[in-house]
A and B are shown apart, each in its own frame.
Chain A
Amino acid sequence: MITAPTDVTFRIRRFDPLTRPQPAWEEHTIPYAPGMTVLDGLRLIKETRQPALAWRSSCRMGVCGSCGMFINGQPRLACNTQITQLDGLPVVVAPLPNFAIIRDLVPDLRPMFDAHVALHPYLIRDDTAEMAEPTGEYYQSPEELEHFLQFTYCIKCGCCMAACPTYATDAAYSGPMPLTQAHRYNADSRDGGFAERKAVLAGEQGPWKCHYAGECSRACPKGVDPARAIQLMKRQLVFAYLRLYAQPCPSKVLPKPTEMKRRPDVPEAPAPTIGT
């Protein structure tokens, strides 16, 4: 934590394949305003000093996952990082590591999304007709939801991938985000696709190159804890290999109740006032 300064210097890693083919640092000093985030600073720099500066951002409130950057040595969301919460100045901003740089602070996240798609991150069930034209809801208790709810909060920002030591050297590793999302579906009681995902996860695309450095969980801005998901996935896969685990049947459709009786203490709805 630092005390609020009057001016802030930003040290930004610039790269342009046409005009600046070797990445280099560029410094800009801007006046500090209370509550300024790194993203606010970048916008001020672009508006007043360096119009060519490029980055990704959208919601500016930590839910879209666009602004993942390497800020003062840690992968963070620029919109979620107050300048006063950093360890020291200047604010050093670089693009997210372990991804190729397209331009300035814009990483190429396509390999992460390719790995994500390869692990089938969607509900897989036999009843395709029901999934296309639902007649009721799939039953799920609150306890069953707890098994995977934490992993649904992922915003696909890529900070975990930047923090992972294995992903730093091995481009073939799936990475924390794809594996966590695969486990999110494996642990979902509505899903029946464990066998299909297991066929992929048993090989090189599985969690076997994770050695629990835990950096992904430390870097995650939404508390998704990918390290936990990956170890739970290893547990499931090892026990399946040793024939000690069989996936339970996916949850059934809860049919709509046919007889609906109003409880005596619940009043009737008022008559509609619009439409005919």
Chain B
Amino acid sequence: MLETNGHPNRLGLVGWLGGGRWGAERYLYTLHRLTGLGLLAYFLLHIVVTSSRALGPAAWQAAMGRVSGPIFVAGEFLVFVAFAFHGLNGIRLVLVELGWAIGKPIEPVYPYRTSVDEQRPLAIAVMVLAGLLIVAGGLDFFVLH
């Protein structure tokens, strides 16, 4: 890569967060990253906490007792929400990034209908499903238990 000596002008992390007038898919991309990091952080702790089941019932009850407070329950619900979004958006991304949901190349005629417009119904369907899953999970977390 040729080194340039002009004044640096990269958007940096602001480019990930969007500028307020970017499209919905850009926000879905940022949210997908945030939920992924949240899920990863929870998961690494989860491996350690649930490993206590190998040491018998007393160790297990102790570990479960430590993570049963209301803050933990709320946190676990957030993990469920993150999973619902990340998983369903991930399925949308698999369909899009392997070329199934984006439509065939066309002769561009203004106003342009891009692949982003083609996959928009799928994005909406995925968000609706995620919403339904979150409601179902919320019922289970806070009402039925």
A and B, direct touch (CB closer than 8 Å) = yes
Question: Which of B9, B30, B102, B103 has most A Cβ within 10 Å?
Answer: B9
Contact B29–A213 (Cβ < 8 Å): yes
Assuming the contacts A234-B98, A235-B99, asked whether A153 and B2 have C-beta atoms less than 8 A apart, the reply is: no
Contact B11–A100 (Cβ < 8 Å): no
Minimal Cβ-Cβ distance residue in B for A21: B7
B1-34 interface mask toward A, CB cutoff 8 Å, 1 = contact, 0 = none?
1101111111111111011111101100110110
Complex CA distance for A115 and B21, rounded to whole angstroms: 28
Contact A234–B7 (Cβ < 8 Å): no
Residues in A140-155 with C-beta less than 8 Å from chain B: 146-151, 153
Chain A-chain B contacts (Cβ-Cβ < 8 Å), number: 155
Chain B contacts of A148 at CB under 8 A? 105
Q: Does A238 contact B (CB under 8 A)?
A: yes
Contact A223–B112 (Cβ < 8 Å): yes
B78-97 interface mask toward A, CB cutoff 8 Å, 1 = contact, 0 = none?
00000000000000010011
Contact B12–A100 (Cβ < 8 Å): no
What's the least CB distance linking B59 to chain A, in Å?
Answer: 41
Interface size class of B (residues with CB under 8 A): 35 or more
Contact A73–B99 (Cβ < 8 Å): no
What's the least CB distance linking B91 to chain A, in Å?
Answer: 13
Interface-side segment among A2-10, A104-112, A192-200: A104-112
Complex CA distance for A42 and B63, rounded to whole angstroms: 68
Q: Does A67 contact B (CB under 8 A)?
A: no
Q: Does A165 contact B (CB under 8 A)?
A: yes
Question: Which of B14, B19, B25 has most A Cβ within 10 Å?
Answer: B25
A96-119 interface mask toward B, CB cutoff 8 Å, 1 = contact, 0 = none?
011111110001101100110000
Contact A225–B115 (Cβ < 8 Å): yes
Assuming the contacts A101-B7, A212-B25, asked whether A218 and B114 have C-beta atoms less than 8 A apart, the reply is: yes
Contact B99–A234 (Cβ < 8 Å): yes
Complex CA distance for A274 and B4, rounded to whole angstroms: 56
Assuming the contacts A107-B9, A235-B98, asked whether A73 and B20 have C-beta atoms less than 8 A apart, the reply is: yes
Q: Does A231 contact B (CB under 8 A)?
A: yes
Contact B116–A217 (Cβ < 8 Å): yes
Chain B contacts of A100 at CB under 8 A? 4-9
List 25 A–B pairs whose Cβ atoms lie within 8 Å, in order of A's numbering.
A17-B6, A23-B7, A73-B21, A95-B9, A97-B15, A98-B10, A99-B6, A114-B2, A146-B104, A147-B105, A164-B15, A165-B15, A168-B14, A169-B11, A171-B10, A211-B33, A212-B25, A214-B23, A215-B22, A218-B116, A223-B112, A223-B114, A225-B115, A228-B115, A232-B99
Report B's interface with A, CB cutoff 8 A. 1-2, 4-16, 18-23, 25-26, 29-30, 32-33, 93, 96-99, 102-110, 112, 114-116
Given contacts A107-B9, A110-B2, A220-B112, 13 further A-B contacts (CB under 8 A): A98-B9, A108-B6, A111-B2, A114-B2, A146-B106, A148-B105, A150-B107, A169-B10, A213-B29, A223-B114, A228-B114, A229-B105, A231-B96
